């Protein structure tokens, strides 16, 4: 076998690490009922993409609408009663200045105003509660996302606090991937990457390393890495398998070995270094290339 001798020179190096990962949402959002009721309309299906502020689901509003109407009427009555009590107090006060009424009559008028004011505040609180409960019969999306779970159908009764719809928020997507023990040494937060998915052949998306795990998976020995997709296209969805090319940390003044200089010896990769005309075996510290 012919022997080829390579002369190595130090130079700056930045390799890459190729791996696979899974696209995931930054957060999962559960849409829960604020009150009990019967589902009267569901406007989305599983897999639908929704926008922040979009109406997702409605509970039967009839009972709450009637309660809101009664609360509105009670508020109007209490407002009128308070206005009348204040008018009477003013009249009594004017008469008191001319000493035409007793102090007792004036105190009674003041008590009537205080009582009417308290009744008005109570009616106002009841009115606000009734309006809020009526509004709570309509459930809106708090974020852009994908409908992951739709747990109810029209006509079903639900209890307050029950999760009805689950969204995967897509205002940001990230990729969860894993790298080997050798490769993790060269991956740092802030390193760039490109991401592709099999269903979108030829398309790649820019990403940046957000986090590098410090503990290896006990089963595989690989380390978790999470990347932020900088420009997540609408075609990307949580759960998709991603091809990831991670840029390793730039290293100055390193020796670059040709691939054919590496030789397998007892499950180790070694090179032979010529010293004084003799080839001596060495085990180099390898980085991702």
pLDDT digits (tens, 9 = 90+) for 1-28: 566 666 666 555 556 789 999 998 877 8
Residue 225 banded pLDDT, cuts 50, 70, 90: very high
Residue 50 falls within a domain, yes or no? yes
193 occurs within a structural domain: yes
The CATH number that applies at residue 72 is 1.10.287
How many domains are there within the chain? Answer: 3
What average pLDDT does this structure show over 212-219? Answer: 92
| pLDDT number for residue 14 | 53
State the residue range of the domain holding 142: 28-59+137-168
| Domain boundary, last residue among 168, 187, 209 | 168
Query: Does residue 5 belong to any structural domain of this protein?
Result: no
State the pLDDT at residue 109.
86
Q: Which two tokens stand for residue 216?
A: 């290896």
State which of 118, 150, 168 marks the end of a domain. Answer: 168
The band of 93, judged by pLDDT with boundaries at 50, 70 and 90, is confident
Do 53 and 97 sit in the same domain of this protein? no
Question: Do 273 and 189 share a structural domain?
Answer: yes
Yes or no: say if 191 and 210 are a contact pair by the CB < 8 Å rule: no
**Measured between alpha carbons, how far is 13 from 129 in angstroms, rounded to an integer?**
65
- 103, 40: one domain: no
Name every residue whose Cβ is closer than 8 Å to that of residue 20 and which is 6 or more positions away in sequence.
Answer: 177, 241, 242, 243, 244
The reported pLDDT for the residue numbered 8 is 64
pLDDT mean over 69-84: 96
Q: Are 212 and 187 in contact (CB under 8 A)?
A: yes
Starting at the edge strand found earlier in the chain, the sheet holding 263-265 runs 263-265, 268-275, 278-282
Task: Looking at mean pLDDT, say which of 57-66, 86-95, 192-201, 264-273 comes out highest.
Answer: 57-66
144: pLDDT strictly greater than 70: yes
Per the confidence metrics, is the pTM higher than 0.85? no
In a domain, 164, yes or no: yes
- CATH number for the domain harbouring residue 249: 2.40.30.170
Report if residue 3 sits inside a domain: no
């Amino acid at each position: 076998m012919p022997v080829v001798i390579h002369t190595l020179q130090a130079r700056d190096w930045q390799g890459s690490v190729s791996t696979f990962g899974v696209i995931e949402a930054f957060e999962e959002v559960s849409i829960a009922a604020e009150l009990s009721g019967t589902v009267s309309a569901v406007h989305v299906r599983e897999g639908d993409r929704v926008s922040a502020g979009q109406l997702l689901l409605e509970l039967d509003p009839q009972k709450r609408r009637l309660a809101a109407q009664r609360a509105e009427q009670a508020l109007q009555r209490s407002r009128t009663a308070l206005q009348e009590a204040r008018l009477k107090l003013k009249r009594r006060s004017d008469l008191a200045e001319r000493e035409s009424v007793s102090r007792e009559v004036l105190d009674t008028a003041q008590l009537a105003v205080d009582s009417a004011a308290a009744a008005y505040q109570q009616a106002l609180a009841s009115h606000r509660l009734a309006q809020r409960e009526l509004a709570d019969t309509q459930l809106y999306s708090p974020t852009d996302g994908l409908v992951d779970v739709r747990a109810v159908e029209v006509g079903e009764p639900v209890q307050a606090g029950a999760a009805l719809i689950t969204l995967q928020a897509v205002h940001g997507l990230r990729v969860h991937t894993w790298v080997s023990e050798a490769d993790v040494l060269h991956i740092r937060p802030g390193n760039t990457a490109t991401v592709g998915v099999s269903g979108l052949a030829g398309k790649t998306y820019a990403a940046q390393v957000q986090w590098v795990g410090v503990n290896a998976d006990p089963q595989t020995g690989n380390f978790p890495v999470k990347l932020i997709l900088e420009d997540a296209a609408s075609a990307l969805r949580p759960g998709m398998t991603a091809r990831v090319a991670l840029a390793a940390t730039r290293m100055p003044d390193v020796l670059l070995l040709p691939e054919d200089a590496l030789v397998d010896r007892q499950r180790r990769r070694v090179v032979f270094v010529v010293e004084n005309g003799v080839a001596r075996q060495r085990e180099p510290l390898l980085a991702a290339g």
